[in-house]
Amino acid sequence: MPDRNSSKTLLGAALSLWSCLCFAQAPAAKPVPAASTPLAPSTPALSAGADALIDALTCRISYERYPGLMREIREEREEDFNQAYRQYSQPMLDVYRLQEPIAAWGNQSDVIVIAPNRVMMAVAGALDTVTAQLEHALEQSSESPLSGALDDQHALVIFDADAPGLEGMVLLGCEYRIPDISLLEDPEDAWRKPRTVPAPPTTP
């Protein structure tokens, strides 16, 4: 039987970690009261999984797996992750609509938002409601994704979306604190960048 007290302590500690690492970078959001108990030492994030997108949303992508994450997601979900343009530039975001909704952190959505270092799902509803669903899911699970996933390279993020077209939605997912690698700089996306045509040589 799940231990509700330990699940709540785990949630509070995880959201406390999120507040420290991510709250300053995200739009203003109402944080859930955090427990004083620190997060237990984590084990390395999983290096393989049956669904790369769900692994990415739940902070289960290891440092070694991270550089090829978008390629892995596209290979598994070729029809879902195929688009011709970048929807947002300030901040840079790619938004994908899935053929079937997926579940993560106790919530469901068919809208995925990719930022340079974040993989998130856009959940319709108020921040308090989405957070409550997250908390409920952790209370029902004795083996939450937080216990072995959050460390100095992985952080849970949850905040109100403010990009046009995403109003009334909450972004929920994982931030990867891995420097010098952007999820929006996949080599397969080179066509997005303007090509530089070399100037013709000048004759003396």
Q: What is the pLDDT of residues 30-85, one digit of tens each?
A: 333 332 222 222 333 333 456 999 999 999 999 999 999 999 999 999 999 987 67
196 within domain boundaries: no
46 within domain boundaries: yes
The residue with greater pLDDT, 4 or 109, is 109
- pTM tops 0.85: no
Count up the domains in the chain and report the number.
1
158 within domain boundaries: yes
203 within domain boundaries: no
194 within domain boundaries: no
Q: Give the domain range for residue 80.
A: 4-185
Cβ atoms 59, 156 nearer than 8 A: yes
User: Measuring CA to CA, which residue among 157, 154, 138, 144 is closest to residue 15?
Assistant: 157
Q: Please provide residue 134's backbone torsions phi and psi, each rounded to the nearest 5 degrees.
A: -60, -45
Cβ atoms 12, 35 nearer than 8 A: yes
CA distance 182 to 56: 14
Taking 90 as the threshold, does the pLDDT of residue 111 lie above it?
Answer: yes
Cβ atoms 112, 119 nearer than 8 A: yes
Residues 6+ apart with CB under 8 A from 125: 168, 169, 170
143 within domain boundaries: yes
DSSP state of 50: S
Question: Which position has the token pair 């809208």?
Answer: 111
The reported pLDDT for the residue numbered 198 is 58
CA distance 20 to 53: 25
